[in-house]
Amino acid sequence: MNQKEILEKVQAIAQDPFPYLKGKKTEGRKILGSPLADVPSELIHAAGFLPVTILGTNRPIVKASAHLPDNACSLSRSNLELVLNYQREDFDGFVFPQVCDTTQHLSDIWKMTIPSEFFASFLIPRQVDRTSARHWFYAETQRLKSQLEGFSGSPITDDALRKSIRLYNEARTLLREIYQAKRMSPTLISNRQLFDLIRAFCFMAPEDIIPLLQTLVSDLDAEKSGEEKKRVIRISLSGIVVEPAELFGLLDELKVSVVADDLIVGSRMIDYDVPEHEDLIMALTERHFSKSPFSPIRDVGTRLYDHLLRRVEETKAEGIIYFHIKFCESQDYDLPDMKSVMRERKIPMIVLETEYQTAAKAQTKTRLEAFIESLYGEQIHG
Amino acid sequence: MAEKEPKLTAKEFSKQLTQKYYEGAKHAHEQGKYIAYTTAVSPAELFYAHDVIPIYPENHSVMMITHRMTAELSQSIERKGYTSHLCAYARSDLGFRELQKSPIGGIPDPDFLLACNAQCFTLTKWFEVLSRRYNAPLFVFDTPQFIRDKRAREEIIKYVMEQIYEMIESLETLTGKKFDFDRLREVVEYSRQASILYKTYLDMASYKPSPISIFDALINMAITVYLRGTPEAVQFYQLLVDEVMETKVKKGIGVIPNEKYRLYWENLPIWFKFRDHFKLLASYGAVILTSLYVHAWSYDFDPSDPVRTLAENYASVFSNVELEERAEMALDLFRRYSLNGNLMFLNRSCKAVSFAIHELRDIITEKTGIPALIFESDMGDPRFYSESQIRTRIEAYLETLDQLSFERERGLRE
Ligand code: SF4
Ligand code: SF4
């Protein structure tokens, strides 16, 4: 396959992973779904299952409203809809993390409305600033390991886990290389393409995505040399997840290039590898604590803002587009201070409220255009 | 023979204690004492044992809500970019910081903040905002959902206990003073006694007719929220229990004259409306007796192992257990108090207690056969409260109950 074909294939999976997942199921692989947040995929993979991050749906909400009040965040509502209504039979079980009030209750609702062969709560620490959190993450990961072993009927050997860790590390490394190549020559690959790759990584087995990424990386290298330097606005994204994905298409249309982000389905997913460690559960723990901040998880002081600022500085991003998931309480509390920090630092930032099921409105486009124009203006005058 | 001093009523005593508490807090800094903000469900015993004054912004927010200040306070922060769908406590509090308006002249600034997420996650984020504002350390006391898995529970208790030791260290750093575990044991013993008496008081709702309604419970719960761990809280609940016993129970006096419907209330109250609701219901012979919310402070402490007992009690509060267990806790109240009606308030302010309400209703209705009314509103913001709509729905619900009991009396139903 050439670069174009690979990108098309991966994009198709990113947009609708279920044909791919059905294929895996026919091969006898059980699918374990998890809503977004810090579930150690390596462990699930090593147990012989396919870990899949559940990232909502843009199809109409039909059943979820009877279970979740309308001030539930758009992500949780559309996750519930996806599995309850559309793809229930594609999942064999769930590993369910909790990060906020919504996910805690979603977990209860899920258990009652979506019976499945396997359900494990994965109770990640909601603080990462003290040693106790490490001990807890370690204990909880071991508990998950036993549960997975119970479900599969055989122990997860160190060899298997080490192999899964290597695969995930490799996939992440390749994704980072592609991201880095885009940073160097922003037009090499579109925003949509880059983030579709990361999205596909949420759904695909690492052994399936790695060969594709490898070819892409070598092709990109070849192309990079011929690339001419065009002026494009360098942007940093901020938030949790950018949905619907057409928003990336909008960024492409507006000729800006994403060079940094602090998204969960973004850099936070690919920037951190599992380190070498004899104790593999400890290695997974170490990875968790090396990650960048995540809004609902308590972190030291103002690290959430500091981290973003640093990324912006390092990548020379000229502005920040913040994606606010409708009714995400966590972001609601962060935003006013976030805005004032950026104002103080004179970093242009625009906040867009996003919602599944809602195509980017004309208004979003107009606001983005005005924002981008102002960045060009700053560049010319400043 | 010395004249007996005229005895205070529980109400007078409560007022006195509250005044003293807020006065003390106001002058804490002048007296070299520290102020810690904390959440209603949290190991506040650690503060009392270390002479740090715990302040409950939630409690202050209730006062702002009952004084109907929330809409104005909230608007002041909505202008700053906070949205109107955040918890009304948080909005009232952040608004107070903006406008410096408060029915009690405000609360002092924090030196330290503790947010326990057994209650909710909102508090963590709200306190984060305050922690940045006052540049004061925030300690998130993390209590993972207390799921029924035995191994998980053991590990959770370990994790929570470790955090108590971390918190003790933080307090020592804050004050430069060594923590005294004997003192902690004493404080936990006071908490234990207060909690037992508080529960005895709540359980008086099982008498027929009931001498107290939930509105009495809500008013009298304040002391255990902010003074548990002190001897005064014990005295107060003793006085309260004796008083209700003498003036009501022994005489068979109910809180309403013709008690017919003994209702359960799900969620927090609609604070600025509860007197109206009481009257409306009473006119139908209905009275709300209890809710899991008021029971959130009926703890069962064992002072011989204070760190463990704090961990166990705070991790297992109703808002932090799985839904089935929470339903069982509610069903226990239905049984013990002979409840025959169920008002379920879906509180826009409080995702932590409201989400999953439909599933909770399904379990309770299935087990009791009692129909439930689910209605949506906000506990603190009149802008989201529709008088006529809620009135109509409550009235319609009571008529359904009437119809049901009519049919039962005539043997038309089981
Ligand atoms: S953190 Fe925000 S987006 Fe994520 S589940 Fe919670 S409310 Fe929804
Ligand atoms: S009302 Fe609910 S959301 Fe608000 S502070 Fe209390 S528990 Fe948290």
Q: What is the pLDDT of residues A308-338, one digit of tens each?
A: 999 999 999 999 999 999 999 999 999 999 9
What is the average pLDDT across B360-386? 95
Does B323 sit within 8 Å of A333, measured CB to CB? no
CB-side neighbour CA atoms (13 Å) of A244:
15
Residue nearest to atom 6 of ligand 1 (CA): A100
For chain A, counts of helices (H) and of strands (E): 15, 8
In a domain, B194, yes or no: yes
Does B144 sit within 8 Å of A136, measured CB to CB? yes
Give the position, in ligand 1's atom list, of the atom nearest the Cα of A101. Answer: 6
pLDDT of residue B412: 67
pLDDT of residue B303: 96
Residue nearest to atom 3 of ligand 1 (CA): A328
Phi, psi of A354 (to 5 degrees): -120, 155
Residue A332 near residue B86 (C-beta atoms within 8 A): yes
Contacts of B351 in chain A (CB under 8 A): 69, 71-72, 101-102, 105, 329
Residue of A77, A102, A105 to mutate, testing the B interface (most B Cβ within 10 Å of its Cβ):
A105
Phi, psi of B144 (to 5 degrees): -55, 155
Residue nearest to atom 3 of ligand 2 (CA): B350
B93 CA distance to ligand 2 middle (Å): 12
pLDDT of residue B88: 97
B353 CA distance to ligand 2 middle (Å): 8
Does B352 sit within 8 Å of A101, measured CB to CB? yes
Q: Which residue of B has its CA nearest to A331?
A: B125
Percent of all residues in chain A with a pLDDT value above 70, rounded to a whole number: 96
Q: At A231, is the pLDDT very low, low, confident or very high (cuts 50, 70, 90)?
A: confident
Residue of B85, B125, B169 to mutate, testing the A interface (most A Cβ within 10 Å of its Cβ):
B125
Nearest to A333 among B129, B354, B356 (CB): B129
Per-residue pLDDT at B364 exceeds 90: yes
What is the average pLDDT across B155-167? 98
Cα dihedral value A198, A204, A208, A209, nearest 10: 0
Percent of all residues in chain A with a pLDDT value above 90, rounded to a whole number: 88
B352 CA distance to ligand 2 middle (Å): 7
Q: Which residue of B has its CA nearest to A144?
A: B152
Residue nearest to atom 2 of ligand 2 (CA): B350
The pair of three-digit structure tokens given for residue B350, joined into one six-digit string: 């409080």
Cα–Cα separations (whole angstroms), residue A172 to A42, A52, A352:
12, 16, 28
In a domain, B414, yes or no: no
Please state whether beta strands A93-97 and A31-35 pair in parallel, antiparallel, or not at all (unpaired): parallel
Please provide the average confidence, as pLDDT, over all residues in chain A.
94
Contacts of A68 in chain B (CB under 8 A): 355
Does A296 sit within 8 Å of B125, measured CB to CB? yes
Q: Which residue of A has its CA nearest to B80?
A: A336
Per-residue pLDDT at A379 exceeds 60: no
Give the position, in ligand 1's atom list, of the atom nearest the Cα of A73. Answer: 8
pLDDT one-digit tens code per residue, A122-138: 999 999 999 999 999 99
- Amino acid in position A140: E
The pair of three-digit structure tokens given for residue A332, joined into one six-digit string: 């609601």
Give the domains, in start order, of chain A with CATH numbers: 17-159 (3.40.50.11890)
Does A104 sit within 8 Å of B166, measured CB to CB? no
Alpha helices in B79-180 (DSSP H): 88-99, 122-134, 150-175
Pocket test residue of B65, B124, B268 for ligand 2, highest count of atoms within 8 A of CB: B268
Residue B267 near residue B291 (C-beta atoms within 8 A): yes
Residues with CB under 6 A from ligand 2: B 58, 87, 89, 119-120, 122-123, 268, 349-350, 352-353
Nearest to B355 among A102, A112, A143 (CB): A102
B305 three-state secondary structure: coil
In a domain, B323, yes or no: yes
Query: How far off is chain A from B7, nearest CA to CA, in Å?
Result: 46
Contacts of B356 in chain A (CB under 8 A): 67, 105, 108-109
Give the position, in ligand 2's atom list, of the atom nearest the Cα of B126. Answer: 5
Report how many Cβ contacts below 8 Å link chain A to chain B: 142
A241 CA distance to ligand 1 middle (Å): 10
pLDDT of residue A313: 96
Which residues sit opposite A61 in a β-bridge? none
Q: Which residue has the tokens 């379990």?
A: B363
Nearest to A205 by CA among A157, A245, A163: A163
Q: At B1, is the pLDDT very low, low, confident or very high (cuts 50, 70, 90)?
A: very low
The span from the CA of B235 to the CA of A32, in Å, is 55
Residue nearest to atom 8 of ligand 2 (CA): B120
Please state whether beta strands B34-37 and B52-55 pair in parallel, antiparallel, or not at all (unpaired): parallel
What is the average pLDDT across B291-317? 97
Please provide the average confidence, as pLDDT, over all residues in chain B.
95
pLDDT one-digit tens code per residue, B245-254: 999 999 999 9
pLDDT of residue B17: 97
Nearest to B358 among A67, A102, A332 (CB): A67
pLDDT of residue B139: 98
Phi, psi of A10 (to 5 degrees): -65, -40
The pair of three-digit structure tokens given for residue B302, joined into one six-digit string: 């064992």
The span from the CA of A248 to the CA of B283, in Å, is 59
Of all ligands present, the nearest one to the C-alpha of A54 is: 1
Give the position, in ligand 2's atom list, of the atom nearest the Cα of B87. Answer: 4
B271 CA distance to ligand 2 middle (Å): 13
Q: Which residue has the tokens 């012979």?
A: B285
What is the average pLDDT across B140-163? 98
- Amino acid in position A132: S
Residues of chain B by 3-state class (helix, strand, coil), percent to 5: 55, 10, 35
The pair of three-digit structure tokens given for residue B365, joined into one six-digit string: 């209705």
Helical axes A158-184 vs A206-224, angle rounded to 10°: 30
Of all ligands present, the nearest one to the C-alpha of B86 is: 2
In a domain, B40, yes or no: yes
Does A140 sit within 8 Å of B121, measured CB to CB? no
In a domain, B165, yes or no: yes
Percent of all residues in chain B with a pLDDT value above 70, rounded to a whole number: 98
Query: Does A264 contact ligand 1 (Cβ within 6 A)?
Result: no
Nearest to B140 among A123, A298, A332 (CB): A298
Q: At A187, is the pLDDT very low, low, confident or very high (cuts 50, 70, 90)?
A: confident
What is the average pLDDT across A32-45? 97
Contacts of B124 in chain A (CB under 8 A): 126, 296, 298
Does A131 sit within 8 Å of B166, measured CB to CB? yes
Query: How far off is chain A from B347, nearest CA to CA, in Å?
Result: 10
A196 CA distance to ligand 1 middle (Å): 21
Sequence-distant (6+) residues with CB within 8 A of B349 are B86, B87, B88, B89, B268, B378, B379, B380, B381
Of all ligands present, the nearest one to the C-alpha of B225 is: 2
pLDDT one-digit tens code per residue, B76-102: 999 999 999 999 999 999 999 999 999
B355 CA distance to ligand 1 middle (Å): 13
pLDDT of residue A381: 42
Query: Does A240 contact ligand 1 (Cβ within 6 A)?
Result: yes
B14 CA distance to ligand 1 middle (Å): 40
Does B80 sit within 8 Å of A336, measured CB to CB? yes
Of all ligands present, the nearest one to the C-alpha of B270 is: 2
The span from the CA of A37 to the CA of A124, in Å, is 9
Contacts of B364 in chain A (CB under 8 A): none
Nearest to B202 by CA among B193, B192, B211: B211
Residue B11 neighbours by CB distance under 10 Å:
13
B28 three-state secondary structure: coil
- Least confident window among A28-42, A53-67, A219-233: A219-233
Q: Residue B344 is part of which domain span?
A: 2-409
Judge if the upstream peptide bond of residue B209 is cis by omega within 30 degrees of 0: yes
Nearest to A98 among B129, B145, B152 (CB): B145
**DSSP code at position A328:** -
pLDDT one-digit tens code per residue, A242-272: 999 999 999 999 999 999 999 999 999 999 9
Number of domains in chain B: 1
A86 CA distance to ligand 1 middle (Å): 21
Q: What's the start-to-end Cα distance of chain A, in Å?
A: 45
Per-residue pLDDT at A97 exceeds 60: yes
Per DSSP (E only), the strands in B23-119 are 34-37, 52-55, 112-116
